[in-house]
Amino acid sequence: MTTSTLQIQQDLDRTLEGIRSNRGLSEEAKRRYITEAYEKAQADYRAAVETQEQEIQERSQKAEKALFEIPTGTSPTI
């Protein structure tokens, strides 16, 4: 897990703890709020993973370009 995905998990855990410990909510309301919290966390997680994959792809492309780039400039004459 990366920092952002770990943060999403920690936020979800805190949210679920708050929902479950709320005595003012009925069991049905708790289930609804828990479902909503999971759905939000899943969407956030997918977005974070997509962003991370895109960053990895960009770094990989830059590294590949740098590896195969032919240096220009002055070259020794024979």
- So what's the pLDDT on residue 15? 98
Tell me the pLDDT tens digit for each residue of 25-59: 999 999 999 999 999 999 999 999 999 999 999 99
Give, as one character, the DSSP assignment of residue 72: -
Distances (CA, A) of 76 to 66, 69, 71, 72: 22, 18, 13, 12
Q: Coil, helix or strand for 22?
A: coil
68's CB contacts (< 8 A; 6+ apart) are none
Query: Cα–Cα distance between 76 and 32 in angstroms, integer?
Result: 73
The predicted model scores a pTM of 0.72
